[in-house]
Structure 1
Amino acid sequence: MPIEITPAVMPHLVVDDGAAAIDFYVKAFGATELGRMPGPDGRLVHGAVQINGGTVMLADDYPEYCDGQSETPKALGGTPVTIHLVVPDVDAAFARAVEAGAEVVMPVEDMFWGDRYGVLRDPFGHKWSLGQPVREVSEEELQTAMQQFS
């Protein structure tokens, strides 16, 4: 009998302490731990959490399987990827993450596209944006606002 597959997109984060990352995501973002599989040396081979209904997979860094190259954001000098969370109370969610140890990259502000929005960096180097839709914005308003960036 074939296995039924549900299509999905899931970030798979490489971190320098998988067990601590799971604990951080539970505390900072209210994640639910789905599981963790430590290897014989104690490093996390695979872990998964659910945040806002979506699954985020993670594992400790294994440079020995990546051409000797560490793949954590810290080792790479940052990350070009930001994971976005839509939340019902962005100020409370942002404060909770900061209290848990996240670093503020951009404080929460009202944005021209209609969200209250801010950006954090977790202790493992990954960036997270948090947004709360607060008002509808017309296409015309967006175009006007975008002209300030040209």
Structure 2
Amino acid sequence: MNVPEGFGVVTPYIFADGAEEYVRFLEAAFDAHEVGRSTAPNGRIANCQLQFQVTTIMISEASEQFPATRAAHYLYVADADEAMAKAVQAGAEKIMDVGDMPYGDRQGGVRDPAGNIWWVSQRLTDEPYF
């Protein structure tokens, strides 16, 4: 089996209304880095690959055939408080304050402008979850 470098066996693929603006939000909020893009003849994003350190996701402009999708994502960060503040400053809506969780993460939550939920999580221990 061949899986491209930076991609997982399962790779999130988000259809967003206003995909161009959504890509810019992900760059500003979560330090995502665009690594590839293809466009449709009308200039809209057909597929944009964004890398979050070692993980890649894909974004496409929503359409009638492929309507906007909503999902929840668990994003590991070095500093949950700093990452949450940056996401809110970039336009995310805070849905859960940052706090220490009983499973060893310091975590907060935001809803992005496309309606997706991001659990921003800083792992506080080297221990496994269970």
TM-score category of the 2 structures, normalised to the smaller one? 0.7 to 0.9
Work out whether residues 113 and 137 of structure 1, in 8 Å CA contact, stay in contact via their aligned partners in 2: no
- Structure that is richer in helix per residue: 1
The two structures, once aligned, show a CA RMSD in angstroms of 2.2
Question: Which of 112, 117, 125 lines up with 2:102 in the alignment?
Answer: 112
Separation of aligned partners in 2, 1:94 and 1:124? 17
Query: Residues 136 and 41 from structure 1, CA distance in 2 versus in 1: closer, same or farther, beyond 3 angstroms?
Result: closer
Partner of 1:146 in structure 2? none
**Residue 72 (structure 1) aligns with:** 68
| Structure holding more strand per residue | 2
Residue-by-residue CA offset, 1:70-89 (whole Å, 9 max, x unaligned): x224xxxxx4x311111111
Name the structure 2 match of 1:134. Answer: 124
**Letter paired with 1:39:** A
TM-score when normalising by structure 2: 0.85
CA shift, 1:138, in A, is: 9.3
What does residue 27 of structure 1 align with?
A: 28
Q: Distance in 1 between matches of 2:48 and 2:127?
A: 39
The structural deviation recorded for 1:98 is 0.7
CA–CA distance in 1 between the matches of 2:61 and 2:128? Answer: 44
> Number of residues paired by the alignment?
126
Bigger radius of gyration: 1
Identity %: 33
Partner of 1:91: 81
Query: Structure 1 residue 5 and structure 2 residue 2: aligned?
Result: yes
| Unmatched segments (≥5 aa) in structure 1 | 74-78, 143-150
Quick check: 1:72–1:125 contact (8 Å CA) kept in 2? no
Matched, 1:121 2:122: no
Please state if 1:39 is matched with 2:35. Answer: no
CA contact (8 A) 1:18 1:44 kept: yes
> Alpha-carbon deviations, 1:91-139, whole Å to 9, x = none?
1111111111111111111111121111111111111111112247799
2:43, 2:60 → 1: CA distance?
11
Structure 2 residue ranges without an equivalent (≥5): none
SS for the counterpart of 1:23 is helix
Aligned to 1:101, the other structure's residue is in SS state coil
